[in-house]
Chains A and B, each alone.
Chain A
């Protein structure tokens, strides 16, 4: 899932300082799971903002709504008719959701309430780890299911580097060395052959905005 973190309160407060009627829009998917931007977080943010602005002698009128997925136009339709009463929107969705919301309501300022941080997994309640940088050229089949692009601090394809500190990465004793893990796992599976060959320079496919249209939908796209 996409993991995000709510922005510091003072930053959000500064973003909305010129607005008096604001709608906070949550998202019920990834950011709800990682406790950053679901229904509950919409309520908490609005309460905090209401109190802070009252204390400042500059009250704010806030609305809150959480849609199923902000990264899907279909789910944004339900906001039609609601938007007009507000000067601005805060989105607690990931960067994709925020941009879709802004695109759907281009006349309204749309402000981010979270920092979208990574594609990750849920290690435990409230504990998420980055796992993938969406490089577009997945090599997990060769690296024992451990991503060198994400998990190695230097994104090396032919590691481990000389900085490996016991089993940790040179950047921190708390960060396991990805290539140490890759070696260990492949060694146990008797598959070290897959890293003995030199990985050639990678074709970085994530340097331009990407679009995917599934083959079955190519015609549909062409017609738009």
Chain B
């Protein structure tokens, strides 16, 4: 065991993992985090705690991670390269590990321009792949990036993201290989809607032997409405929403679109369970935490394994 995290244990035991997501509030309300967390306990193996997601200031991801632990949820501490340099990152990594955080997700972060402080200085001292490398070096070699010894190295299961739908498609699997080489233990993908491309990407990863070296969790976000599907298609960079998804939602009356969205997500999950090279699903039910138990139930993911 590299980290002893619940996710690591579940994956090593060969179970199909199911992870969730929790966005911290735009305020100091601890109950807002507790409330969201309560919906997720028992339904997922681990929950990603986002880090100033879409470049909007929110309660820090390490603080919300600690609240999640108190609520009985295992956090996946997200860390973006946008907001801190290598000194701050390493300090936060040590602190998080000391307080019981066992998973970390290393991300570049959305550009500042998308958020509520568009002219903030983007730090980007290191990038997401270099961050993965840095955490691995801290954990496995017991050394800081600068080379000095760490007396008590952090224990973290290291995650990265992959977006098979962003161009250039042919390069995406090589970038995955770079993340694995840097030290990623698990990968969570961008929300999948284009199943054809996903199958192709996983096949490439299988052919290159990458899926034997890393656990890949496919990203699933159920559509709440036709409007959301259209927004995702047009406004979210790097997101690919094929026309048949839009058409299917168009085909049902407005009241039933959310239900149809969940149905579509469950169908995807069914296919992912059988897809060679996938080790789990990462459910990003954005501002829909209360629906997670229902989705988990309908996707036949319950009960979650105890390891």
Contacts and interface: CB of A to CB of B under 8 A. Distances in A.
Question: Do A and B make up one complex?
Answer: yes
Interface of A: 153-167, 170-171, 177, 180, 183-184, 192, 196, 198-202, 204
Interface residues of B, number: 36
A153 B134 contact: no
B120 interface: no
A162 B162 contact: yes
Contact of B238 (A154, A155, A165): A165
Interface string B166-194: 11100100110110011000000010000
A159 B127 contact: yes
Give the one of A153, A170, A196 with max B CB within 10 A: A170
A182 to B, nearest CB: 10
B110 interface: yes
B113 A180 contact: no
A154 B178 contact: no
Interface in B232-249: 237-238
Nearest to B146: A201
6 contacts: A153-B113, A160-B167, A184-B168, A198-B178, A199-B129, A200-B130
A142 to B, nearest CB: 14
A184 B170 CA distance: 11
B129 A160 contact: no
A11 to B, nearest CB: 18
B18 interface: no
Contacts of B178: 158, 196, 198
Contacts of A156: 108, 124, 127-128
A192 B178 CA distance: 13
Choose among A162, A164, A166 the residue with the greatest number of B CB atoms under 10 Å from its CB: A162
Interface string B113-132: 11000000010111111100
B109 to A, nearest CB: 8
Contact of B166 (A164, A200, A202): A164
B130 A196 contact: no
B127 A163 contact: no
B134 A154 contact: no
Among B134, B167, B181, the most chain A Cβ lie within 10 Å of the Cβ of B167
A158 B180 CA distance: 13
B129 A198 contact: yes
Given A154-B82, A155-B124, A180 B167 contact: yes
B279 interface: no
Contact of A198 (B110, B182, B190): B182
Contacts of B166: 160-165
Contacts of A192: 174
B34 interface: no
A158 B127 contact: yes
Given A183-B168, A198-B182, A170 B127 contact: no
Nearest to B126: A201
Contacts of A180: 167-168
A200 to B, nearest CB: 7
Contacts of B86: 201
A183 B175 CA distance: 11
Contact of B171 (A154, A155, A160): A160
Interface string B79-90: 001100010000
B246 to A, nearest CB: 18
Contact of A153 (B111, B126, B162, B174): B111
Contacts of B40: none
Interface in B65-119: 81-82, 86, 108-111, 113-114
A208 to B, nearest CB: 15
Nearest to B86: A201
B127 A162 contact: no
Contacts of B182: 198
Given A154-B81, A156-B127, A157-B127, A167 B111 contact: no
Q: What 3 A-B pairs are tightest by C-beta distance, nearest first?
A: A162-B163, A170-B237, A158-B129
B125 A204 contact: yes
A162 to B, nearest CB: 3
